C-alpha cells in the first residue's frame, strides 16, 4: 500500500513539490506511542474529538487490541520514516443490520498537515472498505471542525445529519455532524 504524492510543506520546512513516498500499513503495537502523541495533540486542540483528557499508551492498549487487520483495523501512514497519521475503524451501532456501516476516525500529525496524508488515508478506506465487509463509512465530526469537514467533503462524503448542541466542550455547546459515504 504505497503511494507517491506531492509534499507541499512540513511546518517550517518548505519542501515544495518534493516527491515523497507514503506507505499505508496496519498499525503494530510499536506504533502506539506515535499514535497517542498525534491523538493527544488533537485532543488539546478542542475541535477534533469528544475525548477531552489526554490518553496514555498503557490506557490505550485495550483499544488497540480491540482492532485487527481484518476487523476494524488501525492503519498508519508512514512518511520519511515517521508516523505521519493514522486511521481507525470501529463499530457504528451494535445491531446486526448496521454491520456493514463502519465509523472511521482520521488523525494527522501537525508536522505533516496539508501534505495529503488525511486524503490518502480516506482514499484507502474507500478503496479497501468493501474487502473488509463495509458498504458505508460514517465520520462523526464536530460542527466546528472545519479542516475535517473540508477533508471529508473532498473525499466524497456528504453531511447526513446534524445533532445540535449534543456536546459540551469546556462548557460550550457543540454540534455533532454525521458525514457519510456509501462504497
Ligand atoms: C482533518 C485532518 C485529518 C486533515 O488531514 P491533512 O492530512 O492535513 O489533510 P490533507 O492534506 O489530506 O488535506 C486534503 C484536503 O482537505 C482540506 N483541508 C485539510 N485541512 C484543511 C484546513 N485546515 N482548512 C481547510 N481545508 C482543509 C483541503 O481541501 C485539503 O486539500 P488542499 O490541501 O489541496 O487544499 C487534520 O487536520 C487532523 O488530523 N486534524 C485533527 C484530527 C481531526 O480533527 N480528525 C477528525 C476527526 S475524525
Domains of the chain by start residue, with CATH: 2-182 (3.40.630.30)
pLDDT at position 43:
85
The tens digit of pLDDT for each residue in 97-130 reads: 999 999 999 999 999 999 999 999 999 999 999 9
145 CA: nearest ligand 1 atom:
44
121 in contact with ligand 1, CB cutoff 6 A: no
pLDDT at position 133:
97
Judged against a pLDDT cut of 70, whether residue 14 lies above it is answered with: no
The tens digit of pLDDT for each residue in 2-13 reads: 443 333 433 333
Q: What's the mean pLDDT in 78-102? A: 96
Closest CA to 115 of 21, 15, 9: 9
**How would residue 86 be classed by pLDDT, with cut points 50, 70 and 90?**
very high
Calculate how far, in angstroms, residue 176's C-alpha sits from the geometric centre of ligand 1: 18
87 in contact with ligand 1, CB cutoff 6 A: no
Is 29:67 a contact under the CB 8 Å cutoff? no
Share of the chain above pLDDT 70, in %: 89
The tens digit of pLDDT for each residue in 40-62 reads: 998 888 778 888 888 899 999 99
- CB burial of residue 119 (10 Å; 0-12, 13-18, 19+): middle
Task: Record the pTM.
Answer: 0.90
Cell 484507502 belongs to residue: 124
Judged against a pLDDT cut of 60, whether residue 72 lies above it is answered with: yes
180 in contact with ligand 1, CB cutoff 6 A: no
Amino acid at each position: 500500500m504505497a503511494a507517491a504524492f506531492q509534499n507541499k510543506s512540513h511546518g517550517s520546512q518548505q519542501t515544495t513539490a518534493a516527491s515523497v513516498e507514503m506507505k499505508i500499513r496496519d498499525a503494530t503495537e510499536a506504533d502506539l506511542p506515535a499514535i497517542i502523541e498525534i491523538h493527544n495533540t488533537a485532543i488539546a486542540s478542542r475541535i477534533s474529538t469528544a475525548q477531552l483528557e489526554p490518553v496514555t499508551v498503557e490506557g490505550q492498549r485495550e483499544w488497540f487490541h480491540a482492532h485487527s487487520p481484518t476487523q476494524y483495523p488501525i492503519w498508519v501512514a508512514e512518511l520519511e520514516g515517521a508516523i505521519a497519521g493514522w486511521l481507525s475503524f470501529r463499530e457504528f451501532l451494535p445491531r446486526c443490520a448496521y454491520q456493514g456501516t463502519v465509523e472511521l476516525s482520521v488523525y494527522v500529525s501537525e508536522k505533516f498537515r496539508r501534505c495529503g496524508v488525511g486524503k490518502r488515508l480516506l482514499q484507502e478506506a474507500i478503496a479497501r472498505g468493501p474487502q473488509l465487509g463495509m458498504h458505508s463509512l460514517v465520520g462523526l465530526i464536530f460542527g466546528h471542525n472545519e479542516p475535517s469537514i473540508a477533508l471529508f467533503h473532498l473525499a466524497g462524503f456528504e453531511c447526513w445529519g446534524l445533532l445540535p448542541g449534543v456536546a459540551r466542550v469546556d462548557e460550550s455547546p457543540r454540534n455533532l455532524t454525521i458525514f457519510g459515504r456509501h462504497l
